[in-house]
């Protein structure tokens, strides 16, 4: 990785001030000496190992030194998004002042966009580059979030409340017109429906019952979007199923998924779970498409923006192309991150272009943006001058000449 523009010591210092513990990450990943390249290229797979500390002012400094280094910029964005994905809702604890600093740092790198969704939304956590510059992701993950559950005021997960806090405390501090994407529904179709069938002792599969379930889920999801005042958001389709017929039970009857979804299977539950009739992969792909059709129709009816990338993942046989689910041999319910890069970036580019707001010069800037553009550079210049003056006095006792 080219870090010739800045010394390694300066880079390490900038990450440290942002809250990145170099020694902890290197130990967790076995990458001593190449931590930043690894964070840039592989960091998405090591989110759980990141030191859970973040300093907004330090992050702003970090972004400032990476103007010409794409790898380090990507590493900085992965670092930020690892905190946004913290299930302890780290991002909600940041003050509005901190978010203004984060927004300022992001504007120095490009244009931010926001993706709010279940764990499948992480696939859009990509730094996108096009003719307008860099588009920087802010991915707020709601692990195992149900689309229908968002409309429940008594939801145990509290994800709906978190979205409302993001709306009230974070989005206003981002540049006006920042695109917001919503991706929910896959948890309902793949997981909630199966467990409801099990709980209600409906072991046989009934497509009409699924249709009714899907329609209720879509209606509740859309009602939440409207009630939450997110009419400007772009609703994304759910993905095709990635679990193969052989991998379905192995992929679902495991503690990892149950723990995230707040479900526990007793031995009796497990026995009943094994009795569920599970449609084959081609049929399940059709059920996902049906859900997307219902969601698209409801979005059109309510005037909501909608974008569908479902077909981009399919192979010639009508199910997901094996390139997108080979990593875990069809036993994980997520699209593989690295092979799907081109699809995700193409989706983001098209969606942002289709639903781009008025250009910035035609909008009234927010107060935070005015401060960032007009006031902050002056203050930064004064701080730099004071630092140079203090350094000169410490080293020589007198001020150096301007030519020096």
| CATH assignment at residue 119 | 3.40.50.1110
Whether residues 349 and 250 fall in one domain: yes
Q: Which of 212, 89, 103 lies closest to 159, judged by CA?
A: 89
Whether residues 63 and 36 fall in one domain: yes
Range of the domain at 388: 367-404
The tokens describing 274, both together, are 């094994």
Report the C-alpha gap between 254 and 94 in whole angstroms.
34
The residues that bridge with 183 in the sheet, in sequence order, are: 117
Whether residues 242 and 178 fall in one domain: yes
Whether residues 245 and 168 fall in one domain: yes
Among candidate residues 56, 88, 104, the one where a domain is terminated: 104
The tokens describing 52, both together, are 């859970």
Total number of domains in the chain: 3
Q: Which residue has the tokens 């790898």?
A: 71
Whether residues 147 and 96 fall in one domain: no
The residues that bridge with 135 in the sheet, in sequence order, are: 111, 128
Mean pLDDT, consecutive 10-residue segments, the chain of 404 residues?
60 86 82 82 69 80 72 80 68 74 83 94 87 85 93 91 91 90 97 90 95 98 98 96 87 50 61 86 98 98 96 97 92 91 93 64 40 46 54 46 33
Whether residues 193 and 256 fall in one domain: yes
pLDDT attached to residue 203: 93
pLDDT attached to residue 195: 86
Whether residues 348 and 373 fall in one domain: no
Among candidate residues 104, 128, 163, the one where a domain is terminated: 104
The three-point CA angle 170-48-190 to 5° equals 80
Whether residues 359 and 372 fall in one domain: no
Whether residues 377 and 357 fall in one domain: no
Among candidate residues 70, 104, 138, the one where a domain is terminated: 104
Report the C-alpha gap between 398 and 404 in whole angstroms.
12
Whether residues 357 and 332 fall in one domain: yes
Residues contacting 5, CB < 8 A, separation 6+: 68, 69
Whether residues 92 and 186 fall in one domain: no
Whether residues 37 and 160 fall in one domain: no
pTM to 2 decimal places: 0.82
Question: Strands of 180-183's sheet, edge to edge?
Answer: 128-130, 133-141, 111-117, 180-183, 234-236, 305-307
pLDDT attached to residue 21: 80
């Amino acid at each position: 990785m080219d870090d010739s523009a800045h010394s390694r010591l300066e880079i390490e210092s900038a990450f440290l001030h942002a809250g990145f513990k170099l020694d902890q990450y290197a130990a967790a990943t076995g990458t001593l000496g190449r931590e930043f390249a690894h964070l840039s290229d592989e960091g998405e797979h090591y989110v759980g190992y990141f030191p859970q500390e973040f300093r907004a002012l330090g992050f702003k400094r970090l972004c400032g030194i990476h103007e010409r280094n794409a790898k380090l910029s990507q590493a900085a964005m992965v670092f930020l998004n690892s905190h946004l994905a913290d299930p302890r809702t780290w991002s909600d604890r940041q003050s509005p002042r901190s978010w203004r600093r984060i927004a300022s740092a992001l504007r120095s790198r490009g244009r931010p966009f926001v993706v709010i969704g279940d764990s499948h939304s992480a696939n859009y956590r990509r730094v996108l580059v096009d003719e307008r510059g860099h588009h920087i992701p802010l991915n707020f993950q709601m692990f195992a979030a149900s689309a229908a559950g968002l409309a429940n005021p008594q939801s145990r997960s509290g994800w709906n409340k978190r979205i409302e806090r993001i709306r009230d405390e974070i989005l206003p501090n981002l540049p006006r017109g920042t695109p917001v994407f919503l991706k929910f529904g896959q948890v309902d179709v793949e997981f909630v429906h199966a467990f409801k069938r099990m709980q209600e002792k409906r072991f046989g599969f009934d497509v009409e019952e699924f249709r009714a379930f899907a329609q209720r889920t879509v209606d509740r999801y859309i009602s939440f979007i409207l009630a939450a005042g997110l009419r400007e958001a772009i609703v994304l389709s759910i993905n095709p199923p990635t679990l193969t017929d052989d991998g379905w039970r192995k992929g679902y009857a495991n503690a990892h998924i149950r723990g995230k979804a707040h479900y526990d299977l007793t031995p009796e539950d497990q026995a009943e779970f094994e009795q569920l009739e599970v449609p084959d992969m081609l049929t399940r792909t059709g059920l996902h498409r049906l859900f997307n059709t219902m969601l698209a129709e409801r979005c059109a009816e309510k005037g909501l923006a909608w974008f569908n990338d479902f077909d981009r993942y399919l192979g010639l046989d009508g199910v997901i192309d094996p390139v997108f689910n080979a990593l875990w041999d069809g036993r994980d319910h997520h699209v593989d991150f690295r092979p799907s890069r081109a699809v995700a970036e193409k989706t983001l580019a098209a969606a942002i272009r289709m639903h781009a707001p008025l250009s910035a010069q035609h909008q009234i800037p927010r107060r935070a943006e005015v401060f960032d553009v007009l006031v902050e550079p002056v203050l930064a210049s004064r701080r730099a001058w004071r630092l140079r003056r203090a350094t000169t006095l410490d080293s020589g006792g007198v001020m150096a000449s301007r030519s020096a």
